[in-house]
Structure 1
Amino acid sequence: MNNIIPNERINEKEKRKSLFLRIEKTKIHRKFDRISISKIGESAVGKSSLVIRFVKGQFSLTQEPTVGAAFLTKKITMKNVNYKLQIWDTAGQERYHSLAPMYYRGAGAAFIIYDITSYDTFEKSKKWINELKKLGDPDVRIALVGNKIDLVKERVIEKEVGEQYAEKNGLMFFETSAKTSENVDQLFLEMTVQLENSKKLTKKIDNEFSDSSDEGSVTLSKVKNHNNNSNCC
């Protein structure tokens, strides 16, 4: 049964959001196009928080560091096509660096994430990008993501700096906040649009509900096509 939040019960921000997304919880047998996404970056930039915010709609100030890698899925529907996003959340600690290629090789998309309050994480994101271009799929779609934009007073990497680097290197660009959820849905949905447009989808797979652990599906009502250096809102 659909679980649609009535407009009269949500605030103005949610009203605007409801024009973009319609949340449904469904359990029917459907076919899904599978999309593999890898999230890469230094420790404590908010990689896990972004995934959990998107998949579960949750945020915790005490998020434990990822050990090795974590795997989450999210089902979305866009333009009457069902997608299953398979998201690899890789650990950022140096001791796990050598494991990262195991998770981004073969991925259709990769998010390189930095913390806008940390110059070091921005500089290291460039190294991740170079490594990904060298060792990853040659056709992988890459997005540079500046996270923690809710920390306005602590910002050290201006938006224009990230945009310019992304444009120069042919990357998509976003700024997000896992804490407030700003641009988080757009990040994943825009990437899905880009992959759809570039035909980077794998074969159809059957969706089988083995348990009740799925977080439901997101039905995309409206989405805009952006260029490669989209800052998405």
Structure 2
Amino acid sequence: MEEKKFTVVVIGERYSGKSTFIYRVIQKVFDAERQESIATSVINYERLYHDVNYKIQFWDTPGTMNSLNYTKSTFKSAFIVLVFFDPSPLEEHSAPTIEHLPDWVKLAKESVDNIYIVASFSDLWEKDNPPYDKRSYEKKYKGIPMFEISSKTGDGIELLLDSICYLYEQKGQNADRGVKLTEKKKDGSCCK
């Protein structure tokens, strides 16, 4: 059986559901007591998709803006970055994650070509009625696919994982690195 390997870096604010999502993917259960990440963790996962065994490394990153420089170094081997946020109204939790979403998306866009935005905790709102204006977010982040998931119920997770594998399948050999390389301009001061 054919095997493919790639890295998925998961970023976002503290309490946005990153670690709980990865735990749900790996263990197939919800853990309400899951602790937040204080350092980047690498978790291996295998998924069969279209007769290909995908060996996926999830990089679970700490979710503080102070860790941004540290987080940037994790993008080197990333095929895709998942930017997590909790769209719940700010009064429902002590750590607003939606207000820093633009910063995390900007960081991802500067580093890789493949980005998905993931709204977590979909079990906390009525179906088809998320607590954020989905259309305005889709317009603001045009071209970046958005997913809604619940690590508690598992809703949306299989679709997200299949979409990642499909994207890798479509990118072919060019998918091995998602890092953007920019040409450094010569300033003309040396070595003509």
Q: Contact 2:23/2:31 (CA < 8 Å) preserved in 1?
A: no
1:126 — aligned with what?
102
Q: Does 1:189 align with 2:162?
A: yes
Q: Which amino acid aligns with 1:202?
A: D
**Alignment TM-score, normalising by the size of structure 1:** 0.66
* Runs of 4+ residues over 4 Å off in structure 1: none
1:117 — aligned with what?
88
Whole-angstrom distance in 2 between the partners of 1:155 and 1:183? 14
Gaps of 5+ in 2: 91-95, 178-192
1:3 — aligned with what?
none
Cα displacement (A) at 1:48: 0.4
Cα displacement (A) at 1:31: 5.3
1:158 — aligned with what?
133
The one-character-per-residue Cα deviations of 1:68-106 (angstroms, maximum 9, x if unpaired) are 111111111222211101110101024423211121233
Cα displacement (A) at 1:186: 1.4
2:32 to 56, 61, 64: 61
Sequence identity, in percent? 22
Provide the secondary structure at the position in 2 that maps to 1:123: coil
Gaps of 5+ in 1: 1-29, 204-233
2:50 to 69, 79, 82: 79
Cα displacement (A) at 1:147: 0.6
1:98 — aligned with what?
69
Q: Does 1:43 align with 2:14?
A: yes
Whole-angstrom distance in 2 between the partners of 1:150 and 1:161? 21
Higher relative contact order (CA 8 A, sep 6+): 1
CA RMSD of aligned residues (A): 2.2
Q: Contact 1:33/1:202 (CA < 8 Å) preserved in 2?
A: no
1:202 to 160, 165, 176: 176
**Alignment TM-score, normalising by the size of structure 2:** 0.79
Q: Which amino acid aligns with 1:61?
A: A
